[in-house]
Amino acid sequence: MKLSILDSSPLASGKTAADAFSDSKDLAVAGEKLGYTRYWVTEHHDLNGLAASAPEVLLAYIGAATSTIRLGTGAILLPHYKPFKVAELHHTLATLFPGRIDLGIGRAPGGSAEVTNALNDNFLQQVYRMPELIDELLSFIDLTAESVTASPIPPVKPEAWILGTSAKSAQMAATKGTSYAFGQWMSDTDGLPVIEDYYRTYAPRNPEDSSQALMTVGAICAQTTEEAERLAKTLFVWQEQSNVGNGSDGIPAQVDRQLTADEKAKFDTFKKKTIVGNPEEVARHIQRLGVNEVMIHTPLHHIADRIRSYELIATELGIRKQSSV
């Protein structure tokens, strides 16, 4: 089994965005040492407590501090951008870090309605044009576009992934001949049948291409179940409070408070979408997913807790490369 990392650069209370980016760099470096396959960065805009609004820029910083782990945009929100520019950005990254770049393609707005309007004058129309936009982007990545070339041309082209949470997105990836990532952490749909259907219907767009899929899950691991539950509660409280304020605010300091009766019910729902437990419990749950590669999202606000969670999982599942990070 392959394990990978999804990061959103959480911004803790009392920290700056620069601190959050430094934490992300430390997480990627640790992940590489532990044997994780990929490190992807999300794209979110003006969301309280998340600093990652420009993943393609952050990856250049991360790439300079790492040497082997694959780096990806997870995802670049294509309806907001011209495919040609997206190809140029990823060709630049693939030139700087040959054979290490993943181009994750998504269609979510990435923020509020106000953010969508600030980024795009016709977002919904562009969403409807997603099949056409993907074709155009892939033509630049595959160097088959007739009119212009998305320079620079890297020695190894970026690996294209379509990200989604439904059978529709899987069929899009299979039809377009891209790799596919299912966001289980954001979906109530069982991702395994969706991924299996992707494999059954995949049609390569180039002779050298082959099908490839992963599932993204939320997971919080600690040495004991009790500690994992405590960390999960602090993350839940942050998410509850992060609806107030704007993207310049960090994670609230008071995240270890008692839950209200209403919050306890919500917390139970939260835990149903997040794997929480000690190393044996988390590893057993991940193995039961039935997929070849699992990407783990652990947005804990203390970087030491985040790295420790990934470290415990890597050790339990046997991918860990060395004894210390």
Residue 15 covered by a domain:
yes
Residue 321 covered by a domain:
no
Residue 252 covered by a domain:
yes
Residue 290 covered by a domain:
yes
Cα distance between residue 101 and residue 94, in whole Å: 6
Q: With b meaning 16 or more CB within 10 Å and e meaning fewer, what string describes 51-73?
A: bbbebbebbeebbeebeebbbbb
Cα distance between residue 235 and residue 216, in whole Å: 18
**Measuring CA to CA, which residue among 142, 164, 163, 161 is closest to residue 153?**
142
Q: Token pair 């420790």 is at which residue?
A: 308
In this prediction, the residues of the chain whose per-residue pLDDT falls under 50 are 244-248, 253, 322-324
Cα distance between residue 307 and residue 325, in whole Å: 9
Which token pair is 252?
Answer: 């609230």
**Measuring CA to CA, which residue among 219, 302, 231 is closest to residue 3?**
219
Q: What is the dihedral of CA 227, 229, 231, 233, to 10 degrees?
A: -150
DSSP letter at 48? T
Identify the pLDDT of residue 241: 73
Residue 73 covered by a domain:
yes
Q: What is the dihedral of CA 277, 287, 188, 6, to 10 degrees?
A: 80
Provide the CATH number for the domain around residue 19: 3.20.20.30
Residue 322 covered by a domain:
no
User: Checking phi first, is residue 305 left (phi over 0); if not, alpha (psi -120 to 50) or beta?
Assistant: alpha
Q: Token pair 């620069």 is at which residue?
A: 18
For residue 89, the enclosing domain spans 2-316
CB of 195 closer than 8 Å to CB of 180: yes
Identify the pLDDT of residue 49: 85
Residue 325 covered by a domain:
no
Identify the pLDDT of residue 320: 66
Identify the pLDDT of residue 242: 66
Q: Which helix (DSSP H) or strand (DSSP E) does residue 102 occupy?
A: strand 101-106
Identify the pLDDT of residue 239: 79
Compute CA distances 71 → 10, 20, 164, 218, whole Å: 18, 18, 19, 19
Identify the pLDDT of residue 233: 92
pLDDT tens digits along 122-158:
999 999 999 999 999 999 999 999 999 999 999 999 9
Identify the pLDDT of residue 275: 98
Identify the pLDDT of residue 244: 41
Domain total in the chain: 1
Residue 100 covered by a domain:
yes
Identify the pLDDT of residue 76: 97
Identify the pLDDT of residue 322: 47
Which token pair is 110?
Answer: 């990435």
Does pTM surpass 0.85? yes
pLDDT tens digits along 43-78:
999 988 899 999 999 999 999 999 999 999 999 999
Instruction: Identify the three-state secondary structure at position 214.
Output: strand
